[in-house]
Amino acid sequence: MAAEADGLLKRALVPLLLPEKCYDQIFVHWDLLHVPCLKILLSKALGLGIVAGSLLVKLPQVFKILRAKSAEGLSLQSVMLELVALTGTMVYSITNNFPFSSWGEALFLMFQTITICFLVLHYRGQTVQG
């Protein structure tokens, strides 16, 4: 039973947060203060925390546009420029095989920015262009 739980924990943590050698160092040898592995764990956890936080960043703006039924005051050019920057960041990161925890926020911000872009076009009466 304990071996099954250990195997399940290892399958969950190794690809996501820790290299296998660090998993062994922390969970097999019980070296909880192994600094190189703690740095890796902290870095991955913070990266995934930022990705999780990026899921909610632009939602208040989207809801405000929907509630007001207006995108007045928003510049379509600035929204498009932000979209280009996010796309560039994401493409560069994927091309260089960076881990998802380092570029995942760009993906979710890009989806939210696309939504804002369509809302700006919709409320300006340019839905066909969107």
Q: Say how far apart CA 74 and CA 80 lie, in whole Å.
A: 11
The yes-or-no verdict on residue 78 having pLDDT over 90 is yes
Q: Do residues 84 and 122 both lie within one domain?
A: yes
The yes-or-no verdict on residue 21 having pLDDT over 90 is no
Q: Do residues 3 and 27 both lie within one domain?
A: yes
Q: Do residues 63 and 48 both lie within one domain?
A: no
Q: Which of 13, 59, 56, 6 is nearest to 28 (CA)?
A: 6
Above pLDDT 70, what percent of the chain? 85
Q: Do residues 66 and 105 both lie within one domain?
A: yes
Q: Say how far apart CA 10 and CA 32 lie, in whole Å.
A: 16
- If one counts the domains in the chain, the total is 2
Average pLDDT over residues 10-39: 76
Q: Which of 53, 107, 48, 120 is nearest to 80 (CA)?
A: 120
The residue out of 36, 54, 72 marking a domain boundary is: 54
The yes-or-no verdict on residue 5 having pLDDT over 60 is no
pTM score: 0.72
Q: Do residues 85 and 50 both lie within one domain?
A: no
More confident residue, 18 or 65: 65
Q: Which residues constitute the domain of residue 115?
A: 55-130
Helix H segments across the chain?
2-13, 20-23, 35-54, 59-68, 76-95, 100-123
Q: Are the C-beta atoms of 43 and 98 separated by less than 8 Å?
A: no
